Amino acid sequence: MGPGLLGYLIRRLLWAIPVLFVISLLVFYMLRLAPGDPTDTLLRQNYTPEAAQRLREKYGYDQPIHVQYWKWLSNLAQGDLGVSTRYPDFTAQEVILPKMWTSTQIGFFALLITFSIGIPAGIYAALARGTFLDPLVISFWLLLDAVPYFVLIPLAQWVFALQLGWVDLSYDGVYSANMILPVLTLALPAVAGVARLMRASVLGVMGEDYIRTARAKGLRESTVVFTHIARNALLPMITVIGLSLPGMAAGSLFVELLFGIPGIGREAFDAVLAPDFDVILALVMFGSFLFVAANILVDIAYAVIDPRVRLGEARG
């Protein structure tokens, strides 16, 4: 790592601190000022004003908001993200991390399939421009993308599990054969966006002078496509790939609910309904950190792959 790249990385990391601070401040105040009280959920039918007051004192909800925030920030600096009010025996990270890991593994395989299919599909559609194959390829993936998850998932379960018996709908781990259907359900509809972007990128590169020069030199078409067109057209995809990485850990509410997967999307939904303040804050901070890190990695990847790109202007 050169001194310029190292200096850029340090500057971006230092800038990430105030960004994350502002995000935490806004979300903390929004949660505290929003309607709803975690003590209502904790007590339910046993609710009494005296019991609610004891719980507020226990969790510090009776203190001024700025005092609560300073206490939370001090704990965060020590690696403590708070305690879940739904699971009093567990910290927020103990609730979140296992479920986030489950969603990340599923999201990784889904993302891998999406780009493995979407990039070649986009290249093929661009090269077939002017023929019926171009709109046919893109329209097929757009049709799949247009079907809502709450329609697609029950249909896929009925066909592949109940009628054909190829998979079991029970959840028994990420690496089991039963996870093929959730992964494909998550991955295939997303191919349309990748294919369309890749097609547009390839068409833009095909109009460049150096592509005409390469063909005029008599290079084989396969060499022109893979060495010159595809390689340069992939540069804009770096942004898409990089900014898709945080989404791996975000999970999918419909996929996790309908397939019974204990992932982070389902946990986030339950935490918001509760409300579980510390878990919600931990989710926001994890997501914000991953997004900031993804932006930094995208800029660095641009500069490494194409030295002509200046750091900090890679996605401009």
CATH number, domain of 254, equals: 1.10.3720.10
Per the domain annotation, does 177 fall within a domain? Answer: yes
Q: 119 and 229 share a domain?
A: yes
Q: 292 and 143 share a domain?
A: yes
Return the pLDDT at 113: 95
Q: 105 and 79 share a domain?
A: no
pLDDT tens, residue by residue, 215-230: 888 888 888 888 888 8
Per the domain annotation, does 200 fall within a domain? Answer: yes
Q: 259 and 144 share a domain?
A: yes
Per the domain annotation, does 44 fall within a domain? Answer: yes
**More confident site: 67 or 6:** 67
Return the pLDDT at 57: 77
Q: 146 and 241 share a domain?
A: yes
Q: 182 and 226 share a domain?
A: yes
Residue where one domain finishes, among candidates 92, 110, 143? 92
- The separation between CA 43 and the C-alpha centre of its own chain, rounded to angstroms, equals 34
- Domain range for residue 65? 3-92
Q: 56 and 157 share a domain?
A: no
Residue where one domain finishes, among candidates 28, 58, 92? 92
Q: 84 and 101 share a domain?
A: no
Per the domain annotation, does 312 fall within a domain? Answer: no
Per the domain annotation, does 62 fall within a domain? Answer: yes
Structure tokens, 186:
């998550």
Q: 150 and 235 share a domain?
A: yes
Per the domain annotation, does 313 fall within a domain? Answer: no
Give how many domains the chain has, as a whole number: 2
Per the domain annotation, does 315 fall within a domain? Answer: no
Q: 49 and 119 share a domain?
A: no
Q: 160 and 222 share a domain?
A: yes
Q: 31 and 138 share a domain?
A: no
Per the domain annotation, does 135 fall within a domain? Answer: yes
Residue where one domain finishes, among candidates 75, 92, 109? 92
Lowest mean pLDDT among 12-16, 96-100, 102-106, 182-186: 12-16
pLDDT tens, residue by residue, 49-90: 777 777 777 777 778 888 888 988 888 888 888 888 788 788
- Percent of the chain exceeding pLDDT 70 equals 91
Return the pLDDT at 316: 45
